[in-house]
Amino acid sequence: MSELPKARIATASLAGCFGCHMAILDIDERLIELMKLVDVDRSPLTDKKRFTERCDIGIIEGGCCNEENVHVLHDFRRNCDILIALGQCAIMGGLPAMRNAIMHSDAPLRECLDEAYITGKYIRNTTHNVPNDPALPLLLDEVYPCSQVVEIDYQIPGCAPTGDVIFDTLFKLLTGKFRGFEREMIRFD
């Protein structure tokens, strides 16, 4: 049997906790099976910071909470045929999006940053300033789910998704057999 050319995948973590990337490692020994089908391009797993070539599948963990997240997400959409939102943060904003509901004041973000760096009870911030180094990416007014920034092809739910649902979905997509999730695999927690 002639070997099929390997698919290329890329991954990135935006406003997430890296739990979904940990969940990718929960695939365990099936990683060997998966690696027979794919090469990993840009990803924290390979430590490549840029795309070396066009990818078949891009996997995004986390939503967009700052301008750098948006740049990375656009870069993934440009360079990937299929874009997957992995986990609840990428799908609906997740925990970072909790700030959205408290941000309906006249000075968006201000309240949140003040409490985090200046007025909060348990803070030991000797500078009494909100960090403002020019190298820091600017925060967005709200945390956005990936699907509100670019077009998302598939969403793998869960916080974090199980190794099983990640492997199952990737394997079926790579072999052209994906027809939606088994109902018992759908979890939002």
Partner 1 sequence: MSGTEKETGFTFTIDGVEIKAHAGQTVMEAADAAGVYIPRLCDHEGLRHQGSCRVCTVKAGGRSVAACTQPAAPGQAVENETPHLTKMRRDLVEMLFHEGNHLCPICEASGNCELQAMAYRLDMTEATKFPYLEPCRALDASHPDIALDTNRCISCGRCIRASQDVDGKGVFGYVGRGIHRRVAVNGENLADTDAQVSDHAMSSEVCPVGCIIRKRVGFAVPIGEREFDKGLIGHEIEEKRK
Residue by residue, what is the 3-state secondary structure of 28-67? CCHHHHHHCCEEECCECCCCECCCCCCEEEEEEECEEEEH
Residues 96-155 close enough to bind partner 1 by CB under 8 A: 97-98, 100-102, 104, 142, 145, 147-148, 151-153, 155
**Least Å distance between CB 163 and partner 1?**
14
On whether the CB atoms of residues 55 and 8 are closer than 8 A, the answer is: yes
The conformation of residue 143, written as its DSSP 8-state character, comes to: E
Q: At 83, which helix (H) or strand (E)? A: strand 80-86
Site for partner 1 in 83-102 (CB under 8 A): 85, 88, 91-95, 97-98, 100-102
Smallest gap from residue 153 Cβ to partner 1 (A): 8
User: Which parts of this chain interact with partner 1 (CB under 8 A)?
Assistant: 85, 88, 91-95, 97-98, 100-102, 104, 142, 145, 147-148, 151-153, 155, 157, 159, 180-181, 183-184, 186-189
